[in-house]
Amino acid sequence: MIRLSKKHYFVFLFAFLGFIALYYREPVLISFGEYLVTESPLEKADAIVVLSGSIPDRILEAVDLYKGGYAPMIILTKSEKPPAYDELLRLGVKIPEGHEINKSVAMKLGVPASAVVTVDKRVNSTYTEVKALSEFLKEHNIRSIILVTSKFHTTRATKLFRFVAGKDLKVITRPSRYDTFNPESWWKERRDLKQVIYEYQKLAYYYVFLKTEALLF
């Protein structure tokens, strides 16, 4: 009977674990991508909320939902202006902001201007965006929304809405069909790879800081 030393045992163990990780690498990576995507059964709501960021995939989805009769209005948010934006204005150069582009796209695709509402409060993260939206929705007695964002962003955005708004708001999550993110091959595309890494970093912040703070205070 061959007896392994402790050193040889650990070498064998790590080699075995490495083999398992390599063999099951693709299913594990796919599960990482799939976790980031949340989708609810589609139903009618009081409003469609489009999170700031990627253009035009999110607003295109919102327009389709509006035209499909799922909600009577689209709600947009304003991101903080880039530091040099005011300098551009001083020089007489005006470039459209993200929410202005989204509204223009919606109107050109047939959504009435009166059906596109923009929250005045500016935001600089998904967390501050969700807080601003939750306040706006509560003020206007909006109790259900279809939350539209990019695929990789849906899980965290949904968690943040449920964390901030609680049970008072019904959230129907809708990933944009115009987003090209593929959870089954994200590691093969540089853009998708970066998105997944950043998204898990932000999810870690949500679990470690926001949830912990809520439990403590």
pLDDT in tens, 127-141: 999 999 999 999 999
Handedness of CA 143, 149, 153, 155 (dihedral sign): positive
Q: Shortest CA distance to 151 belongs to which of 179, 126, 172?
A: 179
Q: What is the mean pLDDT of the chain?
A: 87
| Residue limits of CATH 3.40.50.620 in the chain | 39-181
Q: Which residues pair with 175 in a beta bridge?
A: 149
> Residue 48: is its pLDDT beyond 60?
yes
> Residue 71: is its pLDDT beyond 70?
yes
Residues 6+ apart with CB under 8 A from 164: 127, 130, 131, 134
Question: How far apart are alpha carbons 132 and 156 in whole angstroms?
Answer: 16
pTM of this structure: 0.84
Using pLDDT thresholds of 50, 70 and 90, give the confidence band for residue 79.
very high
Query: Would you say 50 and 75 are in contact if contact means Cβ atoms under 8 Å apart?
Result: yes
Q: Shortest CA distance to 199 belongs to which of 139, 99, 126?
A: 126
Residue 49's alpha-carbon distances to 1, 102, 205, in angstroms, are 67, 12, 23
Query: 3-state class of 211 per DSSP?
Result: helix
Q: Which CATH class is domain 39-181?
A: alpha beta
Using pLDDT thresholds of 50, 70 and 90, give the confidence band for residue 119.
very high
Q: Shortest CA distance to 188 belongs to which of 198, 178, 176, 196?
A: 196
Strands 144-149 and 74-79: unpaired
Q: Which residues pair with 148 in a beta bridge?
A: 50, 174
CA quadruple 69, 72, 74, 75: dihedral, nearest 10: -140
Axis-axis angle for helices 154-165, 126-139 (nearest 10): 50
